[in-house]
Amino acid sequence: MLTSVTQRKRLAIQPYSGPTCPRCDWVLTADWIRSGLITCPDCNHIFEATMFTPPVRRLKVVEVATTGPDGTSVCANHARNAATTNCVRCGLFICALCDMNVGTGSYCPSCFDRMRQEGSLAAATTKTRDYFSLARIASVAGLFFTFALLGPLFGIVAISYQKKGRDQRQKNGEDPWPASAIIVTILALLEIAGGGLYDIVVLGGMMRLF
């Protein structure tokens, strides 16, 4: 029988071959692998062990070798995966891993990327808000609502949208100060100053009446 020192040297150069004694690292043979109290045959150390059987791994993807007699088709990109649908654009059979469905039908990855780049897939198109257009609308609305004492409010909203629009264009590498933006900014400042003065005069006159 090997000593514990010799056993440790052997384990140091050999891969794992089974459960061992927690004290001397003696490799337990099959007749010693059980649940309960076990006495190590090498060092006579008593320890408690629990034997378990690892669960069998289950495959989550259905695999097929070829097209079966029942008409089962294989994925065009994964030869061992069963196809669950086909691309509505090119007709290729695809599995669940390749199905790029964003609510407008199933597409294969190649068609999905091509349609997204072309902008023909509305559900995958990135939408951005045009803050400069919102600023123009706010500034024009301020002209019509000046007599309702709301000119300064629309002017402030227009300035706020202008700032977001400049940040957006600067982030995209565009000119943050186009000609239309300068005109809208001047108009918004006039609405804030002129409208504010108008509001003060009107409100002051109303207070004198009362």
69 in the same domain as 27: no
* Domain-terminating residue out of 127, 147, 165: 127
pLDDT score of 94:
92
pLDDT of 124 strictly over 70: no
137 in the same domain as 185: yes
Q: Let me know if residue 193 belongs to a domain.
A: yes
Comparison of pLDDT for 50 and 99, the residue scoring more: 99
169 in the same domain as 118: no
Q: Let me know if residue 12 belongs to a domain.
A: yes
DSSP 122: G
Q: Let me know if residue 79 belongs to a domain.
A: yes
- Beta bridge partner(s), residue 101: 106
- Tracing tokens 């400049």 back to the chain, one arrives at 166
Where does residue 23 rank: exposed (0-12), middle (13-18), buried (19+ CB within 10 A)? middle
Taking CA atoms, 126 is separated from 103, 121, 165, in Å, by: 16, 10, 17
Residue 161: give the domain boundaries: 131-209
138 in the same domain as 96: no
Tell me the average pLDDT across 159-183: 84
181 in the same domain as 140: yes
Q: What's the structural domain count of the chain?
A: 3
pLDDT tens for each residue of 53-100: 666 655 454 444 445 445 568 888 888 888 889 898 898 999 989 998
77 in the same domain as 30: no
Q: Let me know if residue 204 belongs to a domain.
A: yes
Q: Let me know if residue 80 belongs to a domain.
A: yes
136 in the same domain as 201: yes
Q: Let me know if residue 54 belongs to a domain.
A: no
pLDDT score of 152:
84
Single-letter amino acid code for the residue at 139: S
* Domain-terminating residue out of 127, 152, 184: 127
Helix (H, G, I), strand (E, B) or coil at 27: strand
13 in the same domain as 44: yes
pLDDT score of 59:
45
Where does residue 129 rank: exposed (0-12), middle (13-18), buried (19+ CB within 10 A)? exposed
